[in-house]
C-alpha cells in the first residue's frame, strides 16, 4: 500500500484538479517503489525522452474533472445518432484573406459528404461499420471516398488541397498537420485522386499513410483558382478517426490471417481463464470495443498520459502507454488495483462482466475506477488495443511466478525442520495471472522478434520507474533472451523459472535441497480462434519442459539474474516420489486432500511427512495455517502409500478469501537417504454458474426478455446481492440490487432489453455478495435485423442503470 499522496499525479500535475483521495490507494501485490525524477517519457520511452516542456503537441489541459476530453476534439458519449445516412455538411466558407468575401469565380466548397454512416462503403471497407459512431472511422494505409459539393464545375486549372490536423498546435514535420494536394503525389503515402465529376459534385479517393498517427483528426479543404483562395471552416461533423490497420500489409500491425483478424480485432467478447491448472475456470468477458463512447475513452487515455501526438503512430509506444495507463499507479489511470479482499468502497473485481462500464466511467468522470485485478486489467487492455486496431488476445498463465529479486528463480526458504520461513519468502507464485498478447512487427529489435508481444497492465513491478510492462517479444521469452526490451526478465520468470527450495543449515547459511523444474508456467492458454474452446499456447512461450532447449533457455536467463551460480549448488539422490491430489471440491461442501508416496528404490524407506493447509489469494499470498497433519510412513521397496487429510466446510469457512483457493504445503524427510521432499499444491473451490434463458426471439429495436436463475450453494444467507448484466449490441452495463438470498435458496429474475445491433451477441451476467463471488453466466443471443435497418444507436439497449432494485420473480427451496 502506498503511503501519502502519489508523487506523480499525471500529465497535468499543476492543474487545479487533483486525483481523488478516495477510494483508498491500492493494496497492490508486493513491488518495488517507483523511481522519481525524470518524466514518464524519459523513463519509459527513449525515443521520446528528448521532448522538452515547450512542445505544444501534447494537447490542452482539461478544464475540470467533469469535462476532460481528447485534446483532438473527443466528444463525450451523450447523444447517439441513428444509422441513417448522415446529411452533407454545408459550410459558409472564407477566403484566404479571412474577410469572408466570396468573389465571383471562386471555387467554393459548399458541402462535404464523408460517407461515414455504418452502411456506407467507407465504413464497410475499413471494417469499422460496427462502431456505434456517426463520424467517419478509417484504418490507415487504406483509401476512403469523399464527396465534395462545389459552387461550380471543377476545372483543370483549379487546385484543391485536403488537410487533416490533430493536436493543439499541428505541425507538418510532426505528422500532426497533413497536407494532401488533389491529383498530385503526396508524401509518406498520403494522396488524393479525382474519381468522378458530376456537375458540381466531385468524388475523391483519399489514401492515408500506413504510418499515420492514430486519433481523431479535423478535416478541412482549401481551393485555389484564378479568382482567389478559399478555405472550408472546420466542422465537428467532418472529424475523422484514423486507426491502426491489421488488414494493410504496409502497416507494421498487419496480420496475415483473416480468421485471426475476425477474432483478435473484431470479436466483441471472449473467454478469460482462471483457477488452477487442474481446475480451470472460464468466464465470458464483454470487450465492447465498438460501443458508443469507448473509442473516445481509448483516445482520452493517451491524452491523459500526455503522450506526444507524434509518437501515436508507433504501436510499440502506444501499447506501452496503455499498459501504464490501464492501472492507476503513477498516472491516475483507468483502474485501481485491490487485492485486500475489502471492496466496500468500489466494485469487487470478480463482479465485472466487461470493460464498457469501466472505460465510460473513466471518460465521464476522469477518476480511476475501483477495483481491478489481473483479469480486469487484461480485459480492459484487450478492449482498448482492439478498439485502436491492434490484434490482441487475453492470455492466462497458470502457476505464474512473481520474481521480486531479479534472480529469475522462485526462491522458497525453510528452517532446519522444513517449516516455511515466511519473512524470507518474498517471491510468490500466483495460481494464475492474466495478461495480453498483441501482434506487431518490432523494428526496434533485431530480426526474428516480430509477432506476438506481451503487454501486462497489472502493476507488479516498475519498468524504468513506471508501473508498466511490455511490449515484450514472445520469441525472446521462449529463448531466455532477457536482455531484449521491454521487461523480458520479469516475464520470463513468470513462465519459465525454476522453484528453488532452500533449507537453513546449523551455521545459519542456506543450502539448496530441492529444485522443482516444472512448477512455473505449467499451462498458458487463450480463447481459440473462431470458437469458445480453450487453446494451449504454452509452446509459443517455452520449449518442451525438460528438453535441452528449455534447460538452455532457463540457465541462459538465470546467468543474467542476481544469482547466476544457483545451478552450481544442485544435486542429491531422489528415490521417493511424491504426488499431491485434491478432489474436485465445491464451495460449501467437505473435501479431501491427499499425498501419494512411492518408493522407487530397492530398499525400505521411512518418510516423515508434514502437511500444512491454508487459504490463499490467487496472487500466492497465504493466510494463516488452519489445519495440519504429521505422519510417518514406512514404504517397502517399490511400494506406495497415500496420506489423506479430510477438511470439513466448517473448518475452512471462517478463513475463505477471494477465489476460494487453498494452498497445501507438503514437506518431508526420508530417514535412510536424507532426501528432502517439498511441494506446494493449490486448488480451488468451484462456484455455481448463473443460468440464463432467452424468452422469445431477439430483433433489433424490439423488447426481449431474459430469465436468470441462481441457486445459493451455501447454507448461509447471501447479503446485499448484486447482479450485473451487459452485452455489446444488446444491453448497456446494468446493475441490479436484489437484496438477500437465503441459504441453499433458488431465485429467478427476469430482465428486458432492446437489441441495437444485429448478429450473434453475448449477454453476460454476474453475481456478487460479501459471502460469495466469482459467479457468472452467459447466453448467446442471435439478433435478427429490423426490417430495412442495420441497427440502432439509440439508448434502447439501456444506459448504465446503477443501483436499480429488482424484485425476485420467484423463490424456491433447495
Give the phi and the psi of residue 569 in degrees, each rounded to 5: -100, 10
Run of H or E including 109? strand 109-113
Q: Any idea which residue has 478469460 for its cell?
A: 272
DSSP state string for 545-579: TTSHHHHHHHHHHHHTSS-TTGGGG------EEEE
Q: What CA dihedral angle connects 668, 672, 675 and 680, to 10 degrees?
A: -20
Distance CA 707, CA 808 (A): 11
Grid coordinates representing 699 are 430483433
3-state secondary structure of 709: strand
Neighbours of 648 (CB within 10 A): 11
Grid coordinates representing 340 are 485486500
Is 314 in the active site? no
Tell whether 203 is in a known binding site. no
Is 374 in the active site? yes
Query: Which listed residue (291, 296, 456, 768) is catalytic?
Result: 456
Distance CA 337, CA 202 (A): 53
3-state secondary structure of 698: strand
Residue 712's region, left for phi above 0, alpha for psi from -120 to 50, else beta, is beta
Distance CA 442, CA 445 (A): 6
300 secondary structure, DSSP code: H
Distance CA 699, CA 703 (A): 8
Q: How far is CA 174 from the centre of its chain?
A: 30
Tell whether 498 is in a known binding site. yes
- Taking the CA atoms of the chain, what radius of gyration do you get in angstroms? 29
- 761 and 735 Cβ atoms separated by less than 8 Å: no
3-state secondary structure of 426: coil
Distance CA 308, CA 314 (A): 11
Is 402 in the active site? no
Tell whether 95 is in a known binding site. no
Tell whether 545 is in a known binding site. yes
Q: How far is CA 611 from the centre of its chain?
A: 37
Q: How far is CA 479 from CA 232, 407, 441, 521, in A?
A: 56, 17, 18, 14
User: What is the greatest pairwise CA distance in the chain?
Assistant: 109
Query: Which listed residue (48, 298, 374, 438) is catalytic?
Result: 374
Query: Which listed residue (145, 402, 433, 669) is catalytic?
Result: 433
- 773 and 350 Cβ atoms separated by less than 8 Å: yes
Distance CA 795, CA 774 (A): 29
Q: How far is CA 394 from CA 127, 253, 382, 404, 458, in A?
A: 22, 17, 7, 24, 13
Q: Any idea which residue has 498487419 for its cell?
A: 254
E strands, 143-276, where?
144-150, 159-165, 177-181, 191-198, 201-207, 215-225, 228-231, 240-243, 269-275
DSSP state string for 39-87: -HHHHH-GGGTT--TT--TT-PPPSSTT----TTTPPPS-----SSPPP
Which active-site residues does the annotation give? 374, 433, 456
Q: Can you say which residues are annotated as belonging to the binding site?
A: 496, 498, 545, 550
Q: Can you say which residues are annotated as belonging to the binding site for Ca(2+)?
A: 496, 498, 545, 550
Amino acid at each position: 500500500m502506498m503511503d501519502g499522496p502519489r508523487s506523480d499525479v499525471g500529465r497535468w500535475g499543476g492543474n487545479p484538479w487533483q486525483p481523488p483521495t478516495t477510494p483508498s490507494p491500492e493494496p497492490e501485490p508486493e513491488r518495488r517503489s517507483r523511481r522519481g525524477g525524470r518524466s514518464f517519457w524519459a523513463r519509459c520511452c527513449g525515443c521520446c525522452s528528448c521532448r522538452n516542456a515547450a512542445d505544444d503537441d501534447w494537447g490542452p489541459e482539461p478544464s475540470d474533472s467533469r469535462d476532460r476530453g481528447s485534446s483532438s476534439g473527443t466528444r463525450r458519449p451523450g447523444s447517439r445518432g441513428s444509422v441513417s445516412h448522415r446529411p452533407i455538411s454545408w459550410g459558409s466558407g472564407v477566403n484566404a484573406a479571412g474577410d469572408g468575401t466570396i468573389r465571383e469565380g471562386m471555387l467554393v466548397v459548399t458541402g462535404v459528404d464523408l460517407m461515414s454512416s455504418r452502411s456506407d462503403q467507407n465504413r464497410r471497407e475499413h471494417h469499422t461499420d460496427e462502431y456505434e459512431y456517426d463520424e467517419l472511422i478509417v484504418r490507415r494505409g487504406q483509401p476512403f471516398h469523399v464527396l465534395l459539393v462545389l459552387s461550380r464545375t471543377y476545372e483543370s486549372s483549379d487546385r484543391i488541397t485536403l488537410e487533416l490536423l490533430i493536436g493543439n498546435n499541428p505541425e507538418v514535420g510532426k505528422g500532426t498537420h497533413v497536407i494532401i494536394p488533389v491529383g498530385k503525389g503526396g508524401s509518406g503515402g498520403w494522396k488524393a485522386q479525382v474519381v468522378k465529376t458530376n456537375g458540381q459534385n466531385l468524388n475523391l479517393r483519399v489514401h492515408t499513410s500506413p504510418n499515420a498517427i492514430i486519433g481523431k483528426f479535423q478535416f478541412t479543404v482549401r481551393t485555389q483558382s484564378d479568382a482567389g483562395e478559399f478555405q472550408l471552416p472546420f466542422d465537428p461533423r467532418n472529424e475523422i478517426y484514423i486507426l491502426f490497420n491489421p488488414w494493410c500489409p504496409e502497416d507494421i500491425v498487419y496480420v496475415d490471417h483473416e480468421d485471426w483478424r475476425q477474432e483478435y480485432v473484431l470479436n466483441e467478447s471472449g473467454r478469460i481463464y482462471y483457477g488452477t491448472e487442474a481446475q480451470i475456470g472460464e468466464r465470458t468477458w464483454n470487450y465492447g470495443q465498438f460501443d458508443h463512447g469507448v473509442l473516445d475513452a481509448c483516445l482520452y487515455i493517451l491524452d491523459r498520459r500526455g503522450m506526444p501526438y507524434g509518437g501515436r503512430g508507433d504501436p510499440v509506444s502506444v501499447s506501452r502507454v496503455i499498459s501504464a495507463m490501464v492501472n492507476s499507479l503513477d498516472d491516475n489511470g483507468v483502474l485501481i488495483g485491490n487485492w485486500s479482499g475489502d471492496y466496500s468502497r468500489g466494485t469487487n473485481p470478480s463482479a465485472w462482466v466487461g470493460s464498457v462500464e469501466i472505460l465510460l466511467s473513466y471518460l465521464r468522470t476522469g477518476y480511476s475506477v475501483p477495483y481491478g485485478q489481473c483479469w480486469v486489467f487484461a480485459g480492459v487492455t484487450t478492449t482498448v488495443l482492439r478498439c485502436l486496431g491492434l490484434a490482441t488476445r487475453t492470455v492466462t498463465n497458470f502457476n505464474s511466478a512473481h520474481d521480486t529479486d531479479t534472480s529469475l528463480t522462485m526462491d522458497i526458504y525453510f528452517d532446519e525442520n522444513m517449516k516455511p520461513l515466511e519473512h524470507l519468502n518474498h517471491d510468490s507464485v500466483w495460481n494464475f495471472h492474466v495478461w495480453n498478447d498483441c501482434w506487431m512487427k518490432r523494428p526496434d529489435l533485431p530480426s526474428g522478434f516480430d509477432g506476438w508481444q506481451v503487454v501486462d497492465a497489472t502493476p507488479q513491478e516498475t519498468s524504468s520507474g513506471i508501473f508498466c510492462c511490455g511490449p515484450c517479444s514472445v520469441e525472446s521469452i521462449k529463448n531466455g533472451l532477457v536482455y531484449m526490451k521491454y521487461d523480458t526478465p520479469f516475464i520470463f520468470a513468470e513462465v519459465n523459472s525454476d522453484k528453488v527450495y532452500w533449507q537453513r543449515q546449523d551455521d545459519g547459511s542456506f543450502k539448496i535441497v530441492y529444485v522443482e523444474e516444472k512448477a512455473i508456467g505449467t499451462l498458458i492458454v487463450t480463447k481459440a480462434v473462431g470458437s469458445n474452446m480453450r487453446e494451449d499456447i504454452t509452446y509459443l512461450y517455452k520449449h518442451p519442459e525438460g528438453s535441452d532447449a528449455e534447460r538452455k533457455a532457463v540457465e541462459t536467463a538465470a546467468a543474467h539474474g542476481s544469482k547466476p551460480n544457483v545451478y552450481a549448488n544442485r544435486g542429491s539422490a531422489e528415490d521417493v516420489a511424491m504426488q499431491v491430489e485434491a478432489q474436485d471440491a465445491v464451495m460449501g461442501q467437505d473435501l479431501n486432500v491427499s499425498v501419494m508416496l512411492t518408493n522407487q528404490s530397492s530398499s525400505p524407506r521411512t518418510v516423515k511427512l508434514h502437511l500444512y493447509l491454508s487459504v490463499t489469494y490467487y496472487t500466492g499470498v497465504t493466510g494463516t495455517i488452519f489445519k495440519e497433519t504429521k505422519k510417518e510412513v514406512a514404504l517397502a521397496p517399490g511400494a506406495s502409500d497415500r496420506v489423506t487429510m479430510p477438511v470439513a466446510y466448517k473448518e475452512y469457512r471462517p478463513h475463505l478469501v477471494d477465489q476460494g483457493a487453498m494452498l497445501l504445503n507438503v514437506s518431508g524427510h526420508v530417514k535412510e537417504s536424507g532426501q528432502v521432499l517439498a511441494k506446494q499444491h493449490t486448488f480451488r473451490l468451484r462456484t455455481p454458474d448463473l443460468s440464463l434463458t432467452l424468452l422469445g426471439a431477439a430483433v433489433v429495436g424490439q423488447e426481449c426478455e431474459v430469465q436468470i436463475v441462481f441457486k445459493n450453494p451455501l447454507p448461509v444467507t447471501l447479503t446485499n446481492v448484486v447482479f450485473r448484466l451487459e452485452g455489446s449490441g444488446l444491453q448497456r452495463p446494468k446493475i441490479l440490487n436484489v437484496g438477500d438470498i437465503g441459504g441453499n435458496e433458488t431465485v429467478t429474475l427476469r430482465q428486458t432489453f432492446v437489441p441495437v445491433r444485429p448478429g450473434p451477441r453475448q449477454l453476460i451476467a454476474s453475481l456478487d455478495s460479501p459471502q460469495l463471488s466469482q459467479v457468472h453466466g452467459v447466453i448467446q443471443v442471435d439478433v435478427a435485423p429490423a426490417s430495412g435497418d442495420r441497427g440502432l444507436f439509440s439508448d434502447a439497449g439501456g444506459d448504465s442503470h446503477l443501483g436499480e432494485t429488482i424484485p425476485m420473480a420467484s423463490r424456491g427451496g433447495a
